[in-house]
Amino acid sequence: MFKSVLLLGHFRGIRIEVHASWLIIFALLMITMTAGLQREYPDWTMMEALVTSLFTALTFFASIVAHELGHSLVAIKRGVPVSAITLFIFGGIAQLNKDSENATDEFWIAVAGPIVSFVLALVFSVLSGVASQWYEPVAVGFGWLAMINMMVALFNLIPGFPLDGGRVFRAVVWKVTGDAGKGVRAAVAGGRLVAYGLFGVGLWNILVVGNFLGGIWIMLIAWFLLNMAEGHGQNFNLQNRLAGIRARDLADPHVPAVESHTSVSEWVQNQVLPAGQRAFMVASGHRMLGLVSLSDARKIHRDQWPETRVEEIMTPLETLIHIDPDTGAAELLQLMTEHNLNQIPVMENGRVTGWIDRERVLRTISLHMELKA
Ligand SMILES: [Zn+2]
């Protein structure tokens, strides 16, 4: 989903990574916090202010990871796989690999993050109280962490996409009405309202308060939230329309095949170029052995093409990614994107019964959607 990310590590199979934009926020946070602490506590040494800022900023960063882990671990427990947690300029995001299947799962996955932030706020405020008897910088750092985690929890409970509260709101409407679509529409509307409200606050900052930079910044966040909210809605509409379309509806029953002992050069000359097709199943008589594509051919030198048989460079059937005719279109598209596949064979009881290529899929899906609209 994001480029230019730094991998921090793995936790229970979840990739934890930082987007370059987060480093900007981290630097800004360090600078403003150190300056703020020096102003407010003039008796502190420079070192005390700096170390307190560093400790607080790093713990804040860990708090955001904990919030996202809250979503992720509940998601995994409820059968929704999570590939990564990415920290970026506006906070963190857990990349869930699919949508929840029911309102209850959706509710608990969405609410888990703010619950973690609330608990952290409580823990930090207790620690701050304890430390105040002992050493002021530690108490101040914990106090700030308690406040910021409380703000993260409350802000995220605003009932509009893409905030957690939007997903909670969606789950509640979904549960009450029994209609997933109504839940999405309510949460998108909530998201729009939040974005327009924030936009108004930005405008007010610029025109009334005279805080130009702050106003622009708020309007930028509003615009970002609005885009995310609309994106959520469109994504749901697409998923909804794809529902009911199966791999068998998208497959071409004519499976392109090449005899296993054909040389690569013959195959390219006589089949690839005339048919304008980049991949073929490799067959020995009626038995399918594997799949060969132009990218396999490109892995060996052109001089070797005449004496290399296609079966020598093919991907054998056992390791070939294939799908079942009943696989849904959404899952099929995800699989093709994830593994960067241009074509995929449809297999039933060990037999190849159909052929799907990317262009055909997109063409057929748009036809199906035109008929449904
Ligand atoms: Zn969250």
pLDDT in tens, 148-195: 899 989 988 888 777 888 888 888 888 888 887 888 888 888 888 888
Mapped onto helix, strand or coil, the DSSP state of residue 282 is strand
Q: Torsions phi, psi of 12, nearest 5?
A: 45, 45
Degrees (nearest 5) of the Cα angle 142, 145, 151? Answer: 145
302: alpha, beta or left? (left if phi > 0; alpha if psi -120 to 50): alpha
Consult the annotation and say whether 249 binds a ligand. no
Mean pLDDT for the chain overall? 84
Distance (angstroms) between ligand 1 centre and the Cα of 3 equals: 21
**Nearest to 173, CA basis, from 183, 164, 158:** 183
| Residue 169: closest CA among 107, 119, 253 | 107
- Is 68 a catalytic site residue? yes
* Among the ranges given (99-113, 186-200, 321-335), the one the predictor scored with the smallest mean pLDDT: 321-335
**Rounded to the nearest whole angstrom, what is the distance from the C-alpha of residue 105 to the centroid of ligand 1?**
15
- CA pair distance 190, 334, nearest whole angstrom: 28
In the reported structure, the alpha carbon of residue 92 is separated from the centroid of ligand 1 by a whole-number distance in angstroms of 8
Q: List, for residues 56-109, the tens digit of each pLDDT value.
A: 888 988 898 899 999 989 988 888 888 888 887 667 777 776 777 788 888 999
**Quick one: pLDDT band at residue 200, thresholds 50, 70, 90?**
very high
Q: Is 67 annotated as a binding residue?
A: yes
Distance (angstroms) between ligand 1 centre and the Cα of 179 equals 24
Say what the pLDDT of residue 2 is.
46
Tokens of 123: 């823990």
Encoded tokens for 309:
């048989």
pLDDT (0 to 100) of residue 1? 44
pTM: 0.64
Q: Which of 68, 106, 307, 348 is catalytic?
A: 68
Residue with the larger pLDDT of the pair 262 and 9: 262
